[in-house]
């Protein structure tokens, strides 16, 4: 789990280079839900066709939605939603395989349906058909829905010549214990929201939209701390109790786009991937019974940071630069040579960086009494070979944390740029 933090943003439309606190006050602006609330929640809201009754019409005298419910991410844009937004409280990851005999035509129709659904649900509206009304009383709740293509998608649809070289299978790592049935897939969908019912509603609608064109290959559920649960904004904690991701690249950094997104020109990637990114997805089980037997000091030596504050063992605060050469009175390195944070640093990996945006998971108690819990690791980069693969190879050779984690599932997906108004996600690939 590379030592990089998530940009603290709650809504998609932050100005370029600006982050919004995950736990801070809502950004000013007018959303569909805010209009509804300030009008006393009694009026009708026009639907996409301009004349439909609003999905979230509330009875007279209802209390306006809180900021948690009214926050809304935008579907259309340069990049797909769900990449630079802050961590959401609930998440679902799901992979689909195209049905036998499904062609490029069926795939295009599916992506068109999914894009229409994503746009409606992210705006807090009902699904176009057969809505279950599970999320009827909620606002958009920062819902994001993101779509990607796996390596196998291109041979299934006759688009082999459009498959990016960056989608070549990930190499094997010594820490891998991968379940092939829960890995890869033709299509991948990431769903995140700050309300569990909103997230589930999106998952169920996406699954129903697949119809006979595709079937679920695997599906995983995750969670994070709910925005506003802490007294001040802070980096999220994982199930090991560590502040997880202090050194994530920030949108304000001058090279952020270069590291995370495929450029619109001058790239070896196919043109349809312009402004897109590559997502590496890993189900990483944490061996919590073994981890929790360690003292706090021993845990800190494994990670290289203070458990309480996230500060490097060499001193300072969470964002203080780690002094890799500092020694104690006995001449020993203060940050152990195999500490996770030392090995994962970009400057120890040729500048390799990725944007981590994970969810924790807990899938119950195994037969041996141990918790089946850990991290649904999702990281974004312009080039997975220079991003995830570079860092993971280094971690694979001597990361102290590897004793306490196990990689159980894996996937790599090409996530195209955002859809413009009137487009669906992947249209430039499927109709190019």
**Angstrom distance (rounded) from CA 171 to CA 197:** 37
Residue 38: Cβ within 10 Å count: 10
**Angstrom distance (rounded) from CA 278 to CA 280:** 7
Exposed (0-12), middle (13-18) or buried (19+): which is 423, by Cβ within 10 Å? middle
Secondary structure E strands in 287-396: 355-356, 359-365, 371-381
Instruction: List active site positions.
Output: 244
Residue 61: Cβ within 10 Å count: 8
Which of 105, 180, 200, 110 shows the shortest CA–CA distance to 147? 110
Q: Are 246 and 3 in contact (CB under 8 A)?
A: yes
Secondary structure E strands in 176-268: 187-193, 214-223
Secondary structure E strands in 270-398: 277-286, 355-356, 359-365, 371-381
Residue with tokens 């061996």: 287
Q: Are 98 and 213 in contact (CB under 8 A)?
A: yes
**DSSP code per residue over 156-204:** HTT-GGG--GGGSPPPP-TTB---GGGS--SEEEEEEESSHHHHHHHHH
**Angstrom distance (rounded) from CA 158 to CA 154:** 6
Which of 181, 109, 117 shows the shortest CA–CA distance to 143? 117
Helix (H, G, I), strand (E, B) or coil at 229: coil
Q: Give the list of residues 6+ apart from residue 136 with CB closer than 8 angstroms, or none.
A: 55, 56, 126
Q: Are 425 and 108 in contact (CB under 8 A)?
A: no
**CA-based torsion, 225, 227, 228, 233: positive or negative:** positive
């Amino acid at each position: 789990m590379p030592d990089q933090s998530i940009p603290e943003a709650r809504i998609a439309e932050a100005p370029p280079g600006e982050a919004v606190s995950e736990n801070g006050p809502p950004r000013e602006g007018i959303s569909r839900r805010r209009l509804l609330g300030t009008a006393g929640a009694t009026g009708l809201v026009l639907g996409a066709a301009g004349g439909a009754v609003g999905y979230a019409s509330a009875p007279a005298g209802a209390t306006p939605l809180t900021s948690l419910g009214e926050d809304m991410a935008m579907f259309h844009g340069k990049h797909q939603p769900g990449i630079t937004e802050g961590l959401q409280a609930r998440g679902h990851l799901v992979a689909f395989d195209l049905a036998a005999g499904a062609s490029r035509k069926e795939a295009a129709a599916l992506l068109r349906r999914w894009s229409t659904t994503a746009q409606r649900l992210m705006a807090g509206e009902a699904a176009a058909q057969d809505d279950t009304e599970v999320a009827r009383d909620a606002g958009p709740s920062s819902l994001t829905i993101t779509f990607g293509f796996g390596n196998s998608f291109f041979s299934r649809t006759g688009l082999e010549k459009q498959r990016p070289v960056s989608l070549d299978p990930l190499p094997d790592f010594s820490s891998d214990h991968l379940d092939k049935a829960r890995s890869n897939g033709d299509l991948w969908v990431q769903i995140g929201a700050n309300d569990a019912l909103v997230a589930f509603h999106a998952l169920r609608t996406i699954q129903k939209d697949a119809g006979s064109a595709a079937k679920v290959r695997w599906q995983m559920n995750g969670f994070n701390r709910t925005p506003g649960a802490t007294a001040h904004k802070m980096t999220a904690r994982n199930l090991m109790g560590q502040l997880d991701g202090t050194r994530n690249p920030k949108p304000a950094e001058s090279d952020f786009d270069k590291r995370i997104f495929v450029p619109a020109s001058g790239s070896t990637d196919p043109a349809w991937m312009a402004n897109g990114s590559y997502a590496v997805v890993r189900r990483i089980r944490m061996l919590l019974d073994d981890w929790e037997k360690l003292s706090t000091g021993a845990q800190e030596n494994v990670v290289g940071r203070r458990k309480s504050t996230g500060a490097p063992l060499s001193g300072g605060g969470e964002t203080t630069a780690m002094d890799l050469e500092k020694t104690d009175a006995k001449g020993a390195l203060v940050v152990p040579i195999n500490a996770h944070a030392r090995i994962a640093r970009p400057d120890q990996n040729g500048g390799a960086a990725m944007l981590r945006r994970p969810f924790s998971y807990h899938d119950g108690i195994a037969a041996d009494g141990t918790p089946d819990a850990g991290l649904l690791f999702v990281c974004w980069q312009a080039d997975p070979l220079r991003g995830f693969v570079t860092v993971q190879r280094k971690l694979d050779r001597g990361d102290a944390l590897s004793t306490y984690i196990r990689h159980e599932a894996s996937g790599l997906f090409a996530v195209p740029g955002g859809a413009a108004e009137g487009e669906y996600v992947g249209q430039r690939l499927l109709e190019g």
